[in-house]
Amino acid sequence: MPDKITLLLADDHPIVREGLRTIIEIQPDFEVVGEVANGLEAIAFLTESKTSVDILLLDLDMPLMNGVEVIQALNEKGMSTKVIVFTVFDTDERILRAIKSGAKGYLLKGASRQEIFEAIRTVYKGGTLLQPVIASKLMQHISDGVEKPSLRELEVLKWMAKGLKNKDIAAELFISERTVKFHVSAILSKLGAKNRTEAVQIGVKKGFVEL
């Protein structure tokens, strides 16, 4: 029998890890070599373990270090382990950050066994696999050419549309003026806008905000 595909499960919920292990190890070509409960443990396992890991099945929302930070850390270390995100988050921003950081697969926790098996085998062979709902969201973003701001950024954009300055927006949202400046910068970058006025115009056109 050829070498098995080795997997590390990273999720802060023990029952999720237990369920995944049970499902995955039904397949004769899969082997779960470890389980971790947070991002720091995932990095430690992958860097310190003598057992090689082909696939990291990774949740995005974990304590100490989230999933995207784990992917970025693996890139910085030049590690060959491939990442499949397995999460409840289907928002455009989460998907894009994970894919841009280097995730080779993205599955929602409602995925079927066959979808999980297919993703593991496809990614192991060097491919990528996204669930249809995820692929659809990603393609919509690409066709729009504009990345949707986060919920907090949308709140800032709403007050920008009302003509408020950074200091006034900070007061409305109970955050620092420096944080507002950070959000404004992110908004301009995501919308491809040169200034606040253009950002508001694009936001209105895309339906992110109303005047």
109-135 pLDDT, tens digit each = 988 999 999 999 999 999 988 766 676
Whether the predicted pLDDT of 143 surpasses 60: no
pLDDT digits (tens, 9 = 90+) for 152-162: 999 999 999 99
| pLDDT at site 1 | 45
Alpha-carbon distance 101 to 69, whole Å? 9
User: Could you tell me what percent of the chain has a pLDDT over 70?
Assistant: 91
- Inter-CA distances, 165 with 156, 172, 177, Å: 10, 11, 10
pLDDT at 170: 95
pTM: 0.65
Ordered structural domains, the chain, with CATH: 5-143 (3.40.50.2300), 151-205 (1.10.10.10)
